[in-house]
Amino acid sequence: MADVNILINGDMVEPFAVVRDDTKLVCPAGWGPWWQPRPSKRTIPDWQYHQPTFHHHFVDGRLVPAVSSPYATFVGGLFQQLPAVAGEKYEVEIDVMGWSSESETAGDLRDGTDLNVQIGVDPSGGVDGESPVIEWGRVQQPLGRWQTLRLTVTAQASIITLFLKGAPHLPKRQQTIFWRNAVLRPVGRYKRGTNIVGSGDTHITLDPERPEPGQTATVTVSSLRKLPDGELWAFKGVTRIKKIEALGQRQQDDRQVWQFQVNIDGEGLFDLRFVGDGGARLYAQRLQRVAREVQIVPSGEARLDYTRVYVLLPPTADEKWLVAAARGSYLGRYTIGFSADDAGVGDVQDRQVIAVNPHHWEETLTSAWYEHHYPGTQFIPVVANSPEDLEAWLKDWMYETI
């Protein structure tokens, strides 16, 4: 098992912050609140399905997150979305303790009720705590004592979501669940995807595209979604970079665009995340390895000089995209493939690479990347929202170049 905790603030310690401008929603950094709303079409007692209060409390000499609902019950807790690799296994561990009592004295457990505590993981990365795809661990009753919960799941997407859940059975004067020491680690070798494009085609680009150590990079986030709570978090290794300057937000056609400035301090792996809910929601991610030296791969000499057009599909493209590319390229007899290196290699006079959705690659493909690795390649980026859009664009582009 890899000795790495991929959770943000797995210790669940300070800072605690108000989420969604609601003072009843105070969570540790990296964690967000969730709860099941009161059913609208059912006749149930007034004390059921309340919105709990999220706060913090000193327990055993340490400040820990707490979820409370005095004289009422709730179903909910904390959550965090995480980058993952589909097909890989992950193990979760977390400590939990609960108070349930009719006593006025904190921690004095008298006439309590079951708290029905669980941990669960949505392997597809959803944020709906009622989703049927969530894999839940066993229900536990850690009344008045710390208990470690464990669960192992297999990721089905590039994002997974960890849910911490409590569901008290009856209303009590004291009704609080405490959490601490959360760990989510890969089982086996630690594998990472380097570019996550979130829903709404939310993606991250850099300028310069391959920054050098010591440079200040402009980070641009683009999305078809509004994401009013979006903010940029950046890490170098496990250390969060605090000095990020927000340059503003604007509407560009049908997209929302945010810009930030980040100082690239030294060499290493930089983890850029566009997040919401105080870091709990992962809208997009980009890993950028920064180094001073760039290796140039020489192109091979072709048998004959010719003009080559290569339609480069991203690793996220499925069979529908491949068929659309073939239909759009048929009259022009363009080459179609999935390898950025194949597209650039070859010493011919005119090499044109039509890069479809270049932001969907592990490292966003750019003209600078080809200039570094395969000088002389003409880079043509194309953003297509559907296979049909790609097919139409390729046909029009061929017509314009005849």
Task: For residue range 5-56, list pLDDT tens digits in order.
Answer: 999 999 999 999 999 999 999 999 999 999 999 988 778 899 999 999 999 9
Domains 195-290 and 307-401 agree in fold = no
pLDDT of residue 399 exceeding 50? no
Amino acid found at 217: A
Domain 16-186 annotated CATH 2.60.120.260: yes
What confidence score (pLDDT) does residue 164 get? 98
288 vs 65, higher pLDDT: 65
Q: What single-letter DSSP state applies at residue 29? A: T
Amino acid found at 41: K
Calculate what percentage of the chain has a pLDDT beyond 90.
Answer: 70
CA dist., res. 368 & res. 355, Å (int):
13
Q: What are the residues whose beta carbons fall under 8 Å from the beta carbon of 126, sequence distance 6 or more?
A: 133, 134, 161
User: Quick one: fold of 307-401?
Assistant: Rossmann fold (3.40.50)
CA dist., res. 322 & res. 320, Å (int):
5
What confidence score (pLDDT) does residue 135 get? 98
Q: What are the residues whose beta carbons fall under 8 Å from the beta carbon of 215, sequence distance 6 or more?
A: 208, 263, 264
pLDDT band per the 50, 70, 90 thresholds, residue 350 = confident
What confidence score (pLDDT) does residue 300 get? 54
The residues that bridge with 223 in the sheet, in sequence order, are 256
CA dist., res. 159 & res. 6, Å (int):
12
Residue 215's nearest CA partner among 247, 272, 261 is: 261
What confidence score (pLDDT) does residue 227 get? 94
What confidence score (pLDDT) does residue 79 get? 98
What confidence score (pLDDT) does residue 158 get? 93
Amino acid found at 351: R
Domain 195-290 annotated CATH 2.60.40.10: yes
| Domain spans of the chain, in order of start | 16-186, 195-290, 307-401
User: CB–CB of 91/184 below 8 Å?
Assistant: yes
CA dist., res. 148 & res. 96, Å (int):
6
